[in-house]
Amino acid sequence: MDFISTRDKSNLISGSKAIIEGIAEDGGLFVPRIIPKIDKIESLKNMDYKEIAYKIMSKFLDDFNLEILKESIDKAYDDKFSKKEICSLVDFGELYFLELFHGPTFAFKDMALSILPYLLKQSMEANEEDKEILILTATSGDTGKAALENFANVEGIKIIVFFPEDGVSEIQKLQMRTQEGDNTFVVSINGNFDDAQNGVKEIFNDKEFIEELNEENYKLSSANSINIGRLIPQIVYYFYTYGKLLGDGKIKDGEKINFVVPTGNFGNILAGYYSKKMGLPINKLICASNDNNVLTKFINTGIYDRRKKLALTSSPSMDILISSNLERLLYHLSGGNDLLIKDLMIKLERDGVYELENLDIKDFKGYYANEEEVSESIKKVFEEKDYLMDPHTAVAYSAYEKYRKESKDPRKTVIISTASPFKFPSKIESSLENKIEDKNEFEIINKLGKISKQEIPENIKNLKDKDILHKTKCEKEDIKDIIRDFLLKDEKND
Ligand SMILES: *Cc1c(COP(=O)(O)O)cnc(C)c1O
């Protein structure tokens, strides 16, 4: 299986190399040259998460040693996850919630980041890469913690995470700043997520700086969802869900279902699109956005316009105006028109806007929810179904209601539930009570735990007693210097 750049089809590399590189030299993202097919969907109903993971991932990563891939899957999806099934499907009749937050950091990022270190290690060995890997990651909250947790103390790898000072929740901030592990560094950037993501992207395009790092024996890589090693493991849970519904007798073989995906960087929902192209019976992929609704507009009009102010919402992991992975979808939808993609991405950077005429995007629907609608959804679902949703999931629920109302589509629908409600206590409390009291986050968490009968994860409860280990702040112009400082300081410590 070859991977090619969305901006230059002739740039063709293996899966393991694509995982090491993260992003193509021409600025494009790697995509599979051919999307593989999965047959005998019905057999999924007898398979557990790990077996499905192997079935899917081995199709894409055929240059890997498959025995080792299997071992990696075993190690990644172990009792770090609080559910034996790895994710759980909560059944409310025609509506389901697929909970992807039972991993070590309580957000869906664990689904892929628990295995990425193994994939990266294996890729380095396969390519005889003897440099030390330096992972640079910009985070809107959840990627950062999940990457730190999963890469902590992995030999031969260092990781630096940049988060926007004002763009993540208090719990997310605490989770990152208390991270242990000698190879981990956390920096808050004065700016928003797009600033952080662009700052990090610039480093990946800075040949001179990359050369400087090479001379110090470092090889840059990325844990963001631009890395194909993040996307492939995310395809697994779409197949798992279908198998589970089949096994439980909730759907018939071949019956089409919908997925609603709370979307930021378009990684999760793109994995859903790949699943559909691989043969999974999916009707619509419903793209749910918050007030940063550039994708809603794009899906409905073909115009992508990022020329607005980023709104800071209660779903910070979706506070994004430049959804990187959309580039991959455009590549596939355009039939592999790399020149067109390059042109659009230049326009986006230069003008902040592009328009695609004759956009055929019928696999998708796009809706968004404002803060008030998110609050209403949290309250409604708690009162009617006794179920607490985090604000990201609540955005998806709001989109689901809008879709149902508009389409009258009776098909079974799965809402992807991306974070534990206990990561975002304040918004939930204010939604339920209709008032904001001046209480600390941990008191609110305890209270929510009591009223909901949902279990508060230990590692959220004990955050308040942990030491803050990372205090560095920087301006986005200083990213390079910060990296130099860390690497230098670290050598002196050795
Ligand atoms: C990252 C994240 C999202 C958005 O996922 P994308 O793959 O970036 O679209 C949604 N919800 C939560 C909780 C997240 O952490």
Q: What is the mean pLDDT of residues 93-112?
A: 95
**462-484: per-residue pLDDT in tens?**
999 999 999 999 998 899 999 99
Angle 479-493/193-204 helices, nearest 10 degrees?
A: 70
- Taking the C-alpha atoms of residue 426 and residue 248, their distance in angstroms, rounded to an integer, is 36
pLDDT of 348: 97
Q: What is the mean pLDDT of residues 230-244?
A: 98
The alpha carbon dihedral of 476, 207, 349, 264 has a sign of negative
**352-398: per-residue pLDDT in tens?**
999 998 888 999 999 999 999 999 999 999 999 999 999 999 999 99
Residue 197 scores a pLDDT above 90: no
Q: pLDDT-derived band of residue 251, with 50, 70 and 90 as boundaries?
A: very high
The residues, any chain, with a CB within 8 Å of residue 17's CB and separated by 6 or more, are 3, 123, 127
Would the CB of 263 count as within 6 Å of ligand 1? yes
Would the CB of 107 count as within 6 Å of ligand 1? yes
pLDDT of 33: 96
pLDDT of 141: 79
Q: Which atom of ligand 1 is nearest to the CA of 142?
A: 15
E strand or H helix at 426, and its extent?
helix 425-433
Q: pLDDT-derived band of residue 5, with 50, 70 and 90 as boundaries?
A: very high
Measured in Å, residue 418 CA sits from the centre of ligand 1 at 7
Q: What is the mean pLDDT of residues 168-172?
A: 87
Would the CB of 268 count as within 6 Å of ligand 1? yes
DSSP per residue over 219-269, as a string?
Answer: EEEE-STTSHHHHHHHHHHHHHHHHHHHHTTSS-TT--EEEEEE-SSSHHH
Would the CB of 142 count as within 6 Å of ligand 1? yes
Mutate to test the pocket of ligand 1, among 227, 314, 392 (most ligand atoms within 8 A of CB): 392
Would the CB of 318 count as within 6 Å of ligand 1? yes
Would the CB of 419 count as within 6 Å of ligand 1? yes
Q: What is the mean pLDDT of residues 218-235?
A: 93
Q: Which atom of ligand 1 is nearest to the CA of 393?
A: 11
Mutate to test the pocket of ligand 1, among 137, 142, 161 (most ligand atoms within 8 A of CB): 142
Cβ 305 vs Cβ 297: under 8 Å: yes
DSSP per residue over 60-90, as a string?
Answer: H-TTS-HHHHHHHHHHHTSTTSSSTTSSEEE
Q: Which atom of ligand 1 is nearest to the CA of 109?
A: 15
Helix (H, G, I), strand (E, B) or coil at 341: helix
The alpha carbon dihedral of 18, 136, 460, 189 has a sign of negative
- Work out the widest C-alpha separation in the chain, in whole angstroms: 64
Q: What is the mean pLDDT of residues 176-194?
A: 92
Would the CB of 283 count as within 6 Å of ligand 1? no
Would the CB of 266 count as within 6 Å of ligand 1? yes
Nearest CA to ligand 1 atom 7: 267
The average confidence (pLDDT) of the chain is 93
Retrieve residue 205's tokens: 């395009």
Residue 493 scores a pLDDT above 60: no
Retrieve residue 301's tokens: 């009009």
Cβ 194 vs Cβ 321: under 8 Å: yes
Retrieve residue 457's tokens: 């994860």
pLDDT of 86: 97
pLDDT of 483: 95
Q: Which of 59, 109, 121, 405 is catalytic?
A: 109
- Tell me which of 94 and 96 has the higher pLDDT: 96
Which whole-number Å values give the CA distances from 316 to 191, 296, 408, in the listed order?
13, 17, 31
Measured in Å, residue 142 CA sits from the centre of ligand 1 at 8
Its pTM surpasses 0.85: yes
**407-453: per-residue pLDDT in tens?**
999 999 999 999 999 999 989 999 997 565 667 889 899 989 988 87
pLDDT of 494: 46
**Catalytic residue status for 109:** yes
Measured in Å, residue 107 CA sits from the centre of ligand 1 at 8
Measured in Å, residue 288 CA sits from the centre of ligand 1 at 11
Would the CB of 392 count as within 6 Å of ligand 1? yes
